[in-house]
Amino acid sequence: MELVYDDKSHRDLIFQMYQDIFKDPEKFAEYYFDVIYPKNQVLMAWDGVWLQGMIHLNPYRMKISDKEFDAHYIVAVATRKEMRRKGVMRKMLCRVLNDMAERGEPFTYLIPADKAYYEPFDFVFVMDWAETEITGEAGAVTGSPEQFRGDDMQEVLRFLNRQIRSYDIYTVIDQDYIQQAAREAKSQDGDLMVFREHGEITGVFAYGKEKDTVYIRLGFGTDEKRFLEMISRTFPDNKIEISAGCLKQGKKVPKIMFRITSLEALCRCLKSRKKTEFILTVTDPVIGKNNGTFLFSASKDGTEIRPSSKKAVGELSIGDFSKAVFGYGGEEVLERHPCLRELIPLDAVYITEEV
């Protein structure tokens, strides 16, 4: 068995495995393979005849501090039932992580079906989604929700980019992103909606529907109370499940996991409160380039690292380093490695893509 990237000649085999394992609604699966599959990468565990496993890498442009990078969202990690517990998933994950490191991508990310699969590979949580459920109620509301139209594009982009610019890390929202979000919503019997009051956009959200339940992921409103009221009035008598990252109220659910793939590239995005240098040993059993003793030179412009033969002030795993710099569950790490406190954490993350 070998690990090879699909050259887009195995669509039918990949589609068949995808549906055998994930059983997505046909309309969404067709959208995914018409829109996402042509531009993604699929690593296959291939025996020359049968597809035994696969990992999909879906491309997104990410804003990290004041820099932009290409990154890949890992989805559809799957192995045939008879090939499980034989190390196939481990080999596939190690391959894609190293390939992304070679391309200089700072990190990859995913939504885990089970975090226990990914924690051994130093994936760590970086973002909770605030999940809330409301019931739609009929009633008057100032303004009106409308289906997104092509001539709304520039206004919607300006609105959304004003909302997300306060985050440290977020998916770049551009014209392609909006068009894809609209097509995805339609594949789930929903749409991309624009809400205006007094002629100005005050809310944008994408929804999908299943029976009498409405699901909302991408969503922003200038006022959270008004945003929820507007959604409620749009879907009277429906159960509405909202996991939009912009919401503050609701149950906090750990959702997005990151894995640093290029320590060097990620550090360039890390700024410090003052000029400082320290030497740390970082252990990474998967990606050799991240494994070693490094001199960290940090300033307000970013952090440069280079190999060092001098004695380190401490040693930590790439996963623990991630907890510290992404500011999620990292206090214990900072107590053990106070030198990292000078780095300004990238702890405001906004990612709501879900497959």
CATH superfamily membership of 2-105: Gcn5-related N-acetyltransferase (GNAT) (3.40.630.30)
Per-state percent for the chain, helix, strand, coil, to nearest 5:
35, 35, 30
What ranges do the domains of the chain cover? 2-105, 137-237, 262-349
pLDDT digit string, tens, across residues 154-195: 999 999 999 999 999 999 999 999 999 999 999 999 999 999
Question: How confident is the model at residue 342, as a pLDDT?
Answer: 94
The answer to whether 148 and 192 are in contact (CB under 8 A) is yes
Expressed in angstroms, the distance from the first to the final Cα of the chain is: 28
Domain range 262-349, CATH architecture:
2-Layer Sandwich (3.30)
Superfamily of segment(s) 137-237? Gcn5-related N-acetyltransferase (GNAT) (3.40.630.30)
> pLDDT value at position 355?
73
pLDDT for residue 246? 65
* Residue 211: per-residue pLDDT: 84
pLDDT for 283 equals 98
Task: Count CA within 13 A, CB hemisphere, residue 214.
Answer: 24
Pairing of strands 191-197, 200-210: antiparallel
Q: Is the dihedral of CA 6, 9, 13, 19 positive or negative?
A: positive
The pLDDT, as a whole number, for residue 110 is: 97
DSSP output for 177-218: HHHHHHHHHHHTT-EEEEEEETTEEEEEEEEEEETTEEEEEE
pLDDT at 94: 98
Identical fold for domains 2-105 and 137-237, yes or no, is: yes
Please give the average pLDDT of every successive group of 10 residues along the chain, which has 355 residues: 94 96 94 97 91 96 95 96 86 98 98 95 95 87 83 96 93 96 96 92 93 89 88 92 77 94 98 96 98 98 97 98 96 97 94 84
The pLDDT assigned to 10 comes to 94
pLDDT at residue 250, rounded to an integer: 85
Q: What is the pLDDT of residue 47?
A: 86
Please say whether the beta carbons of 127 and 244 come within 8 A.
Answer: no
